[in-house]
Amino acid sequence: MSKLIVSDLTCQKGYNELFSNLSFELNSGEILRVSGANGSGKTSLLKILAGLNSAESGRLSINNNKVGSYNYQSDIFYLGHLPALSPELHSKENLDYLTQLNSRSSDYVPGEALTNVGLNNFEYEYAANLSAGQKRRVALSALFIIQSNVWLLDEPFTALDADGINVIEAQIAKHCDDGGICVLTTHQKCNLPGLRILSL
């Protein structure tokens, strides 16, 4: 069981207040979709949840572990707008590094994860030679490997085709069935069961 608690979060960018006194709680198995117009602070919220940016004020914790602590950081998996792949590395090496930085499960076969997202035989392809959608697939294949409970996915479906979106949605649904938590932003339609929506 894990529980993400956000209380009284305020975020300011320049002179703009993006949101103030934002509070919510997410329990095991819940999916939250953050929605809002461009510039409403969706990415900022996710970055704050990831511990990448600091909020103006407010508290957040996972199972009473504060943001920035070892337990908090190992409980989250964040994927932003950038796919976090180095062009000089193979898909396999990239995936290896990405999951090493996060907490990954011990029974891990990189080839299998890449096959899951439809990239068979791409293990030794340099990231520089992949298309935008393929890069995103490589990064998202980490979802099949990591052990983190709370997934923070910023626009995970950009550049993905319909088939790719289905695969990732299924994986998110499975993760939440297994007691995980997922916070995501997207402008696409999503068919996830039990979706909660937060409007900024």
Partner 1 sequence: MSLRNPSSFLNPLLFFVIAISLFPLAISPESHTLSNIAPGIVWVTCMLSVLLSLNALFHYDYDNGVLEQMVISHHSLPLILLAKTIAHWLLTGLPIILLSPLLGMTLFLDAKSIYVLMFTLLLATPSLSLIGAIGASLIVGIKNSGMLLSLLILPLYIPILIFATSAVSQSQFNLPINGQLYFLASILLISLMTSPFVSALALKTSLD
Of positions 52, 109, 132, 170, contacts partner 1 by CB under 8 A: 52
Burial tier of 189 (Cβ tally within 10 Å: 0-12, 13-18, 19+)? exposed
Q: Does residue number 89 form part of the binding site for partner 1 (CB under 8 A)?
A: yes
**Stretch of 7-15, 31-39, 99-107, 179-187 lying at the interface with partner 1 (CB under 8 A):** 99-107
28: nearest Cα among 149, 184, 123:
149
Q: Does residue number 54 form part of the binding site for partner 1 (CB under 8 A)?
A: yes
Q: Which two tokens stand for residue 130?
A: 């992949």
Residue 66 or 196 having the CB closest to partner 1: 66
Residue 149 Cβ vs partner 1, minimum distance, rounded to whole Å: 13
Residue 113 Cβ vs partner 1, minimum distance, rounded to whole Å: 17
The one-letter amino acid code at 36 reads G
C-alpha separations of 103 from 26, 55, 88, 90 in Å = 21, 25, 23, 20
Contact set for partner 1, span 65-84 (CB under 8 A): 70-71, 73-74, 76, 78, 80-84
Residues 65, 96 contacting (CB under 8 angstroms)? no
DSSP H or E run through 183? strand 181-185
Residue 17 or 163 having the CB closest to partner 1: 17
Q: Which two tokens stand for residue 196?
A: 């909660």
Q: Does residue number 53 form part of the binding site for partner 1 (CB under 8 A)?
A: yes
Residues 141, 95 contacting (CB under 8 angstroms)? yes
Q: Which residues contact partner 1 (rule: CB under 8 A)? A: 50-54, 70-71, 73-74, 76, 78, 80-89, 97-98, 101-103, 126
